[in-house]
Amino acid sequence: MTTAQKLTGDVKDIGLAERGKRKIEWANQQMPVLQTIRKQFIKEQPLKGVRISACLHVTSETANLAITLRDGGADVVVCASNPLSTQDEVAACLVKDYSIPTFAIKGEDNATYYAHINAALDHKPQITMDDGADLVMILLTKRTDLVADVIGGTEETTTGVVRLRAMAKDGTLRYPIIAVNDAMTKHFFDNRYGTGQSTIDGILRATNLLLAGLKFVVVGYGWCGRGVAMRAKGLGSDVIVTEISPVRALEAVMDGFRVMPMSQAAEVGDIFVTVTGNKGVISAEHFEKMKDGAVLCNSGHFNVEIDIPALEKMAGSKRPARPFVDEYAMGDGRKIYLLGEGRLINLTSAEGHPAAVMDMSFANQALSVEYLMKNAAQLERQVYSVPEPIDRQIARLKLESMGILVDRLTPEQEQYLSSWSEGT
Ligand SMILES: NC(=O)c1ccc[n+]([C@@H]2O[C@H](COP(=O)([O-])OP(=O)(O)OC[C@H]3O[C@@H](n4cnc5c(N)ncnc54)[C@H](O)[C@@H]3O)[C@@H](O)[C@H]2O)c1
């Protein structure tokens, strides 16, 4: 990487900036909570002078978060949290119009992906911001000289939080992290409605399939799975759920879905979406049983949910069928289609979550950074939930922006709910 790139970032084409600017401004209109925080940040400068390295999907919503942090006084650098999720025009605009160094190119190879994370780390962050914990992993394993400067970090997604909690448990986490994903105003909405809608959007943009009447298999009925199943049902698919948790399987049954093991679902499914945060949930034994024309995709964080190496090995040949669709010709003549190389389909072939939902996720990010600035010294090397007052404040602001009022407890009700002696 050249010295100039170190200062400005590494983007596909700076000439795309004007398109990116319009896209960022469009998203901003759908992000009233973040706008409110931004106004407050401009006035109060709570992040004055703090160096932040943010490893996030480089989308128009992320741009609005980066601008908010910058306007709060932070010195921000951005890099991609996935090789295929970058919006090149947004990356260009962040560099050109907002002077935020950005290291992200859609379709970058693995070496470039990690070079970009390392470039963001060269910023010597005091606060890290992650989506999947790749930046923290590199910092804590390969760039340990940087740890002394770090006061805290935030993590956006379920898989990242799982990784970081495992680190905290075995004592390898070296600074406090706020699990933004744990906030109710994040996972209730982003994981469910955001992933639900945008996963379907990604599938449709990649394939243009008619979902009505298809057997649509949702692998994992967690926050994301619930959303994907709900939206596929709304489009007329016959939704089948596979699970390993009896409680979640039961919930899926009572929500009106068929539940069966993957060994059975593999035989009947037309389209499969993995959202487990686990690895190898669709594997060789399942590819064996799939119908000719079966379509596979993933909306979980990493591209390990579908055993792609096994699929590559079993297939006689592979060719692109259309953008973001690879056709695998199996030895027995069947064809299996893999979307977006098994990476998050909502970000590879579509634009990720709608801005209106990222409004709340990124409001949590911004307020969590502010919280870290004030409180990191009192925190241990653990993963913390977003403080409840922040969660409630975000819900209140979002409702206000929608013009929706809610009731308040009367003093009598407050007393009734807080007292053990009532009702006798
Ligand atoms: N696409 C996106 O934009 C997006 C957004 C948010 C989260 N995510 C990612 O999606 C994944 C799921 O997140 P979540 O919040 O729904 O997690 P979650 O923990 O709520 O749900 C995961 C579910 O998968 C089930 N599961 C695990 N292994 C399984 C297996 N072998 N077969 C069937 N089910 C299995 C679990 O029992 C659980 O119910 C994570 O990797 C997360 O980081 C993606």
Q: What is the pLDDT of residues 399-416, one digit of tens each?
A: 999 999 999 999 999 999
**Token couple for 239:** 């939704």
- Binning pLDDT at 50, 70 and 90, where does residue 423 land? low
Q: Give the atom of ligand 1 at the shortest distance from the alpha carbon of 248.
A: 39
- How far is 257 from 336, CA to CA, in rounded Å? 25
**Token couple for 232:** 């596929």
Ligand 1 center to residue 108 CA distance, Å?
25
Ligand 1 center to residue 48 CA distance, Å?
36
Which protein residue's CA is at the shortest distance from atom 20 of ligand 1? Answer: 222
Burial of 208 (0-12, 13-18, 19+ CB in 10 A): exposed
Residue 150, CA distances (Å) to 46, 62, 116, 146, 170 in order? 17, 22, 19, 7, 20
Ligand 1 center to residue 99 CA distance, Å?
36
Question: Mean per-residue pLDDT for 12-40?
Answer: 98
Question: Mean per-residue pLDDT for 172-177?
Answer: 97
pTM of the model: 0.94
Ligand 1 center to residue 156 CA distance, Å?
14
**Token couple for 242:** 């596979």
Q: Which amino acid is at 154?
A: T
Q: Give the atom of ligand 1 at the shortest distance from the alpha carbon of 242.
A: 33
Ligand 1 center to residue 188 CA distance, Å?
13
225 lines ligand 1 (CB under 6 A): yes
- Binning pLDDT at 50, 70 and 90, where does residue 79 land? very high
Residues with Cβ within 8 Å of 337's Cβ and at least 6 positions away in sequence, in order, are 207, 293, 294, 295, 296, 321, 325, 326, 327, 328
- Binning pLDDT at 50, 70 and 90, where does residue 8 land? confident
356 lines ligand 1 (CB under 6 A): no
348 lines ligand 1 (CB under 6 A): no
346 lines ligand 1 (CB under 6 A): yes
Ligand 1 center to residue 144 CA distance, Å?
30
Question: Mean per-residue pLDDT for 418-422?
Answer: 83
- Asked if the model's pLDDT at residue 424 lies above 90, the reply is no
340 lines ligand 1 (CB under 6 A): no
Q: Give the atom of ligand 1 at the shortest distance from the alpha carbon of 300.
A: 10
- Asked if the model's pLDDT at residue 259 lies above 70, the reply is yes
- Binning pLDDT at 50, 70 and 90, where does residue 421 land? confident
- How far is 199 from 201, CA to CA, in rounded Å? 5
Mean pLDDT of the chain: 96
Which tens digit of pLDDT belongs to each residue from 365-395?
A: 999 999 999 999 999 999 999 999 999 999 9
Q: Give the closest residue to 130 by CA, choosing from 192, 61, 179.
A: 179
Which tens digit of pLDDT belongs to each residue from 216-230?
A: 999 999 999 999 999
Pocket test for ligand 1, best of 188, 219, 301, 305 (most atoms within 8 A of CB): 301
pLDDT at 2: 60
- How far is 42 from 357, CA to CA, in rounded Å? 23
Which tens digit of pLDDT belongs to each residue from 37-51?
A: 999 999 999 999 999
Q: Give the atom of ligand 1 at the shortest distance from the alpha carbon of 158.
A: 43
Burial of 191 (0-12, 13-18, 19+ CB in 10 A): buried
191 lines ligand 1 (CB under 6 A): yes
- Binning pLDDT at 50, 70 and 90, where does residue 6 land? low
User: Is the separation of the CB atoms in 350 and 374 below 8 Å?
Assistant: no
Q: Which residue has the tokens 């939206």?
A: 231
| Residue 259 main-chain phi, psi, to 5 deg | -120, 135
Which tens digit of pLDDT belongs to each residue from 128-143?
A: 999 999 999 999 999 9
- Asked if the model's pLDDT at residue 1 lies above 80, the reply is no
Which protein residue's CA is at the shortest distance from atom 17 of ligand 1? Answer: 222
Q: Give the atom of ligand 1 at the shortest distance from the alpha carbon of 345.
A: 1
- How far is 261 from 266, CA to CA, in rounded Å? 9
CA R_g for the chain: 22
- How far is 351 from 357, CA to CA, in rounded Å? 13
Which protein residue's CA is at the shortest distance from atom 33 of ligand 1? Answer: 243
- Asked if the model's pLDDT at residue 4 lies above 60, the reply is no
Q: Cα 135 from chain centroid?
A: 14
Residue 204, CA distances (Å) to 199, 209, 214, 294 in order? 9, 6, 13, 15
Determine which helix (DSSP H) or strand (DSSP E) holds 242, and give its type and residue range. Answer: strand 238-242
Ligand 1 center to residue 203 CA distance, Å?
18
**Token couple for 352:** 């990720």
Q: Give the atom of ligand 1 at the shortest distance from the alpha carbon of 276.
A: 24
Question: Mean per-residue pLDDT for 75-80?
Answer: 98
Residue 356, CA distances (Å) to 28, 178, 213, 353, 401 in order? 9, 22, 30, 8, 11
Q: Which residue has the tokens 């400067």?
A: 149
pLDDT at 288: 98
Determine which helix (DSSP H) or strand (DSSP E) holds 201, and give its type and residue range. Answer: helix 195-207
Which tens digit of pLDDT belongs to each residue from 336-373?
A: 999 999 999 999 999 999 999 999 999 999 999 999 99
Q: Which residue has the tokens 């949910």?
A: 305
Residue 38, CA distances (Å) to 35, 103, 125, 181 in order? 5, 24, 21, 21
